[in-house]
A and B are shown apart, each in its own frame.
Chain A
Amino acid sequence: MNSKTMNSRLRTTIAATMTSGVALLSAAPAMAQVEIEYWQYFFDARVTAMEQLIENFEEANPDITVKMTTFPYDNYRTQVAAAIPAGEGPDVVQLFYGWLNDYVEAELIQPLPTDTFPAETIESEYFPMVQAMEIDGEYWALPTAVRSLALFYNKRLFEDAGIEGPPETLDELVDYAIQLTERDGAGNLTQAGLTTGMTAQDHHWWREVLVRQFGGTPYNEDYTEVTYDDEAGIEALEYYLAFQTEHGASESSFMDEPQAAFRAGRAGMHIDGSFRIGALNDTRGLDWGVAELPAGPDGTQSNYSSYWVNAITSSAEGEEYEASVKFMEYVTSPEAMQIWLEVVGELPAKQAVGMTDENANDEVYGPFIRGLEYAHTTIFADESAQRQLMVEMVERVFLEDMDPAESLGIAAEAEQAILDDYYSE
């Protein structure tokens, strides 16, 4: 403990003996030690990164200590919901962008102060998708990092097949996938050209990338209406299904999970999020590269991005609130974003940090960061239920031989029902 904190502690103690102790806790002098609590779900790299951020923050603000608590992902939401109304929860909390509405409605978080976080500054500095955190002119939460999709490819398999570099268009993607596919004597797939599986990231790829590239839009402007049930949607779905049905270059059940097949070196190409970088880095003997998602028939580029945000809870009051604001300022600073990128592999949420020459041209992060510029963030009512509909849309074609257009219609109707149900509440 340094002498400054010692002094302030001493002063607090003397003052405390003179006045009533309880009343003082909330009205302590500005120099007194403030402790705020930060909650996030447990994910090794995220915890390491946050520990580093907290250390730096405490060094710069010796009168504030930050206590971090983590919970398993499975019951994180429940923990937060139970603790905040009871007044025992965190002052700053991490949540998935898709949960924001629920948190705002339940009054678990409070808007960020407009003087420290003016809307215009946020809109000019952050990647556009962060605007989803704005409700009625106020920002409620901000991310440190964001994630987007890109195409991972196996360099060794590319070399063996005599392919120069990653595909740049959807047509090339098909071509290369066919070339990279291998089957055994009985015709069983032993090496997939491209991994597919709506259960992984493909539902994002189909919705926000393929549908747009075939000239459609997945939803209306505010994501309250499903609009992919048209020609473009059908074409996008047929393009996707053809990898399995027509080209035989993929099987959705191949090696259980798409990323497992890629990690095992049994797949030539694989579409996944930036959060996969860490796991691939740890895979020995796998020589992989990353490229931006292939462009559509008319050159349209698109991507999907998502993120986790930090917000100040409604239980933060007085000096804890002040400290929380300062902490929010730090975790959304360029410095914090760079640390997050290096430790977690997730991309800076501010353009100025993400688009530095070094980051944007980085061999691994580059394609993800460049993808952010044209990325869309789906506003989900219930992500897992909406994904499930995409899974079933494809299954009906594979397992029940349903016409793709019909299957698409069923999915669209069911998804609209989920949205209607959600927005009518």
Chain B
Amino acid sequence: MADIPDSTGPGSSGLKGRWHRLSIRQKQVVWAWGFLAIPIVFYVVVRFYPTADAFILSFQEWNMLSDREWVGFDNYVRLWNDPVFWKVFVNTFEYLIIGTPISLVLAFIVAYHLDKVRFMHGTIRALYFLPFMTSAVAMAWVWRWFYQPVPTGLFNNFLAQFGIPQFPFLQSTTTALPSILAPAVWAGLGFQIIIFMAGLRAIPVTYYEAARVDGLSNWAQLWQITIPLLKPTIVFLVVFSSIGFLRIFDQVFNMTSTNPGGPLNSTKPLVLMIYETAFGGRSRMGQAAAQTVVLFTILLIVSLLQLRILRDR
């Protein structure tokens, strides 16, 4: 252990001298960048490089076994001409357009009333939050079972007991998507309620006191105080849950795993399509990358639009 180079040796004296000559401010900058370097390197290697690679890959053809081959815009052209892609495109937006408002309105109603509840407040809040912590896969399988036809499904068995005809839930092209969306909304509700409640609690009580003195009705208080002051919370939740619905996968894949995205592609979202293209059957990685770029673009546009619209008002 004697041969460790001495830090005061001639080799390091130049560097050390230079360090001493720096001002405190400059030293702080060096330290800051030194610490920042770690996450930056991490992000470059784990996030930015693969993202850039995915863009490149979207112009190539690759089945993971052979070499990557340049094909230009072929993958995008193929996507444009694929009727399934357009169906999937519409589905993805259906998840977004139905899911986001419903989940936000529900979460707000629950949070608004929960805020006023004193009795067992913590327990009730925890109960709402529970589904959010449960594994989406486990949950999807339980709901999948709920939706089964007679004699296995809980809902249909219940209907059958009263002589009501079976409801097709996951078996029909019109009801399958809402059926999958319902547990997805329910699962995300806990998180949104917690955020909404934090937002509600942040509104100073004095505003409400003043409103009450002025004789403002509850309804007017809601529209003139609560909602305007909740705007930052709403913006956050709209963007956050939109991204969530645009990226929906677990629920769909697990509830329709025998016929993923079925029946007749009526529930298939973009992420599931990407997964199937990349890992199902023939591993068309280039095609999957092109789909990923499309998803990325959609997410970007939707998020930017929402931020803009909700901020300007």
Chain B, residues 162-194, CB within 8 Å of chain A (1/0): the string is: 010110001111000000000000000000000
Q: By the criterion CB–CB under 8 Å, are B281 and A190 in contact? A: no
CA distance A299 to B4 in the complex (A): 87
CA distance A422 to B156 in the complex (A): 43
**Does A74 sit at the interface, judged by CB under 8 A?**
yes
CA distance A257 to B279 in the complex (A): 23
CA distance A77 to B152 in the complex (A): 36
Q: Which of A106, A185, A396 is the most central at the interface, judged by chain B CB atoms within 10 Å of its CB? A: A106
Identify the stretch in A4-12, A132-140, A380-388 within 8 Å (CB) of chain B at 4 or more residues. Answer: A380-388
Contacts from A to B (Cβ < 8 Å): 74, 77-78, 81-82, 102-103, 105-106, 108, 184-186, 188-190, 197, 199-200, 251, 253-257, 266, 381-385, 388, 391-392, 395-396, 399-400, 422
Q: By the criterion CB–CB under 8 Å, are B281 and A385 in contact? A: yes
Q: By the criterion CB–CB under 8 Å, are B280 and A81 in contact? A: no
Residue of A nearest to B144 (CB): A256
Contact A385 to B259, CB < 8 A, known contacts A81-B64, A186-B160, A396-B264: no
Q: Point out the residue from A74, A106, A256, A381 that lies within 8 Å of B282, measured CB to CB.
A: A381
Q: By the criterion CB–CB under 8 Å, are B150 and A385 in contact? A: no
B72 → chain A, closest Cβ, in Å? 16
| Besides A381-B282, A382-B282, A384-B281, 12 new A-B residue pairs in contact (Cβ under 8 A), listed by A number | A78-B283, A81-B65, A108-B65, A189-B149, A189-B150, A190-B150, A253-B170, A255-B148, A256-B145, A391-B259, A395-B262, A399-B171
List, in ascending order, chain B residues with CB within 8 A of A257's CB.
Answer: 258
**Does B244 sit at the interface, judged by CB under 8 A?**
no
Q: By the criterion CB–CB under 8 Å, are A77 and B283 in contact? A: yes
Q: By the criterion CB–CB under 8 Å, are A256 and B152 in contact? A: yes
Q: Point out the residue from B166, B262, B280 that lies within 8 Å of A384, measured CB to CB.
A: B280
B282 → chain A, closest Cβ, in Å? 4
List, in ascending order, chain A residues with CB within 8 A of B151's CB.
Answer: 184, 188, 190, 255, 266
Q: By the criterion CB–CB under 8 Å, are B258 and A74 in contact? A: no
Contact A199 to B264, CB < 8 A, known contacts A188-B151, A381-B282, A399-B172: no
List, in ascending order, chain B residues with CB within 8 A of A254's CB.
Answer: 149
List, in ascending order, chain A residues with CB within 8 A of B163's CB.
Answer: 185-186
B83 → chain A, closest Cβ, in Å? 10
B151 → chain A, closest Cβ, in Å? 5
CA distance A82 to B64 in the complex (A): 8
Q: Point out the residue from A77, A186, A399 that lies within 8 Å of B264, measured CB to CB.
A: A399
Residue of A nearest to B69 (CB): A425
| Sample of 18 A–B contacts (CB below 8 Å) | A78-B64, A78-B279, A81-B65, A106-B66, A108-B65, A188-B151, A188-B166, A190-B151, A199-B258, A256-B152, A256-B258, A257-B258, A385-B281, A391-B262, A395-B262, A395-B263, A399-B263, A400-B264
Chain B, residues 252-283, CB within 8 Å of chain A (1/0): the string is: 00000011001111000000000010011111
**Does B221 sit at the interface, judged by CB under 8 A?**
no
Q: By the criterion CB–CB under 8 Å, are B66 and A105 in contact? A: yes
Contact A184 to B150, CB < 8 A, known contacts A81-B65, A105-B65, A256-B144: yes
Q: By the criterion CB–CB under 8 Å, are A188 and B152 in contact? A: no
List, in ascending order, chain A residues with CB within 8 A of B160's CB.
Answer: 184, 186, 188
List, in ascending order, chain A residues with CB within 8 A of B262's CB.
Answer: 391-392, 395
Chain B, residues 274-297, CB within 8 Å of chain A (1/0): the string is: 001001111100000000000000
Chain B, residues 138-149, CB within 8 Å of chain A (1/0): the string is: 000000110011
A406 → chain B, closest Cβ, in Å? 15
List, in ascending order, chain B residues with CB within 8 A of A103's CB.
Answer: 65
List, in ascending order, chain B residues with CB within 8 A of A188's CB.
Answer: 149-151, 156, 160, 166
